[in-house]
Amino acid sequence: METFMNRVILTPQNSDCLESHIRLLLRLPGEEHVYQSIDEAVCDPGVDPNNFPVEFINTLTPQDYPPHKLHQKQGAFVMLLSNLRIHKGLCNGTRFIVQDMSKYHIGCIVATGASKGEYVILPRVTFLPNGNDNANHP
C-alpha cells in the first residue's frame, strides 16, 4: 500500500480519471457501494429551473465535484476534493484508504499528511455553485 500512496495517476480529463477508478475497483474484492447525488438546478432570479431537467444535470461532472454516481469499495484509494476540517488535516488533496461505508458517510484511514494512520469519517457533503460549498449533513 505504501508504494501506491507515493504515486499519482494524472489524467487530462475527469472522464479519464473516473474510467481509471472504475477499472481499479473491478480488481478489488468485495461489494461495491454506489453513492448517488441528489441534484436540483440552482438558478439566478428570472431563470426557469425547468430548463435544466435532473436527467441532464446528472450527466455533468464539473471540475472539483464528484460524479453523480460515485462507486466505492473497501480498500479503494480516494482523495478529498475540498477542505473539510483543515485543523485536522482534512484538506483538498488528502488521500485515504476506504475502510467502511454507510448511506451517509465513508470511513477511511488517512494515507498521507500529518494525520496519517488516523481513522476519519467523511460525511456526505452538499455542494453549492459559485464557491459557496457547505458541509451539511443530511
DSSP per-residue codes, 109-128: EE-SSTTTT-EEEEE--B--
| AA identity, residue 100 | D
- Domain segments of the chain: what residues? 2-123
pLDDT of residue 45: 80
- What is the pLDDT, as a whole number, of residue 5? 64
| Length in residues, the chain | 138
Q: What is the pLDDT of residue 4?
A: 63
Helix, strand or coil for residue 22? helix
Burial 113-129 (b: 16+ CB within 10 A, else e): eebeeeebebebbebee
Cell, residue 85: 476540517
Please report the pLDDT score of residue 134 as a whole number: 45
pLDDT of residue 135: 43
- pTM assigned to the model: 0.70
- pLDDT at residue 137 in the model: 36
The H or E element containing residue 34 is strand 33-36
Task: Tell me which residue has cell 461495491.
Answer: 32
Decide if 52 contacts 60 (C-beta within 8 A).
Answer: no
According to the model, what pLDDT value does residue 80 have? 84
For the chain of 138 residues, list the mean pLDDT of each consecutive stretch of 10.
66 76 85 79 75 77 74 87 82 89 90 88 74 43
**Count of Cβ atoms closer than 10 Å to residue 111 Cβ:** 20
pLDDT score, position 100:
92
